[in-house]
Structure 1
Amino acid sequence: MTDDTKTSGERPRQSRTGLKSTGARKASAKSTRSRAREFALQALYQHLVGRNDAESIDQFTRDLSGFHKADAAHYDALLHGAIATAAELDALIVPLLDRRLEEISPIEHAVMWIGVYEFQHCLDVPWRVVLNECIELAKEFGGTDGHKYVNAVLNGLAPKLRPAEVEADRASGKARP
């Protein structure tokens, strides 16, 4: 008899490879793009809070532990693209807010920038992946219910920024109407 079989008739527990006991992803299970989003979030936070310039933030961030495991090209696109198009990103975000932009947490603001930027410029990433990744970022780094706010705003923008993709998912039942 092997360790895999049980004499009591119990089924072995399902493997939760890649998950912590809390159900969250282990660091090793994160994709290079997920890591890039995390570093971009930290960098955009520095920009929003400290008003540091993109180049200084970029140099600092690339020296952080673990950066070598991130998709550097995706990080570059998110950091430099979001900062360069910040006014346009905010113009899309603001109509969906229930308060002034200045009252939004800088973490949630940066996560929304990442989401809107990816909706517009990273068409190889499905809209639902963008939404889910941003919700996870907000859960991990933001306030208690910040992910709900990020979800509402990005879910509101997805049909405008990715209309064909969202409609196809809704027609197939993959996304709610």
Structure 2
Amino acid sequence: MSNSKTNARKAAVQAIYQWQITGQNLNLIEQYFIDEQFFSEGEDVQRTYFSELFHGVPQNLIAIDELLSGFVDREVDAIDPVERAVLRLATYELLYAQDTPYKVIINEAINLAKDFGADGSHRYINGILDKVAQKQRPDEIKVKIQKES
């Protein structure tokens, strides 16, 4: 299942990027990704999670960008579009996908940045998302630290 979510995240970050750049209708972009067979045959988990992520980011954009703005060194809209898509996707998951451990979300975002972003962008993403996780999931982080001690 985790591979399914990884594939869903890869498609979602590309769809979010396309939406940010073009401003196209979400349903049209979503249909494009489904039609172009970004998902394995019969892989409903991928498609369902992709849709949840892709629609969740725009629906919660104000909350996501307000949270990010406290941790970035510039206006959110001034961040490179690929990095912005990765940050928005991961922040959405940190806020609303409580069943997914924060470390998994951050590691997936780092991998997305390595796959799609500029050289070194994964370090920028990691630094910001660590701060977002500390703010949004302090109890989860505290438990992890206590287990490691």
Matches for 1:1-177 after TM superposition, within 5 Å: 31-68=3-40, 69=43, 71-173=46-148
Q: TM-score, normalised by structure 1?
A: 0.77
Question: In terms of Rg, which structure is larger?
Answer: 1
> Deviation of residue 92 (structure 1)?
0.4
Q: Report the Cα distance in structure 2 between the residues aligned to 1:167 and 1:121, rounded to whole angstroms.
A: 19
> Deviation of residue 103 (structure 1)?
2.2
Identity in percent: 31
> Deviation of residue 65 (structure 1)?
3.3
Q: TM-score, normalised by structure 2?
A: 0.91
Q: Report the Cα distance in structure 2 between the residues aligned to 1:105 and 1:56, rounded to whole angstroms.
A: 24
**In 2, are the aligned partners of 1:159 and 1:167 still within 8 Å (CA)?**
no
Greater helix percent: which structure?
2
Q: Report the Cα distance in structure 2 between the residues aligned to 1:132 and 1:76, rounded to whole angstroms.
A: 21
Unaligned runs of 5+ in 2: none
1:16 aligned partner = none
Unaligned runs of 5+ in 1: 1-29
Q: Deviations over 1:33-91 (max 9, x none)?
A: 00000000110001111111211111111112332356111111100000111111000
Q: Deviations over 1:117-162 (max 9, x none)?
A: 1111111111100000000000100011111111111100101111
> Deviation of residue 100 (structure 1)?
2.2
Matched residue type, 1:59: Q
Q: Report the Cα distance in structure 1 between the residues aligned to 2:95 and 2:11, rounded to whole angstroms.
A: 20
**In 1, are the aligned partners of 2:11 and 2:38 still within 8 Å (CA)?**
no
Matched residue type, 2:81: P
> Greater RCO between the two (CA within 8 Å, min separation 6)?
2
What is the number of residues matched between the two proteins? Answer: 145
Q: Report the Cα distance in structure 2 between the residues aligned to 1:99 and 1:31, rounded to whole angstroms.
A: 33
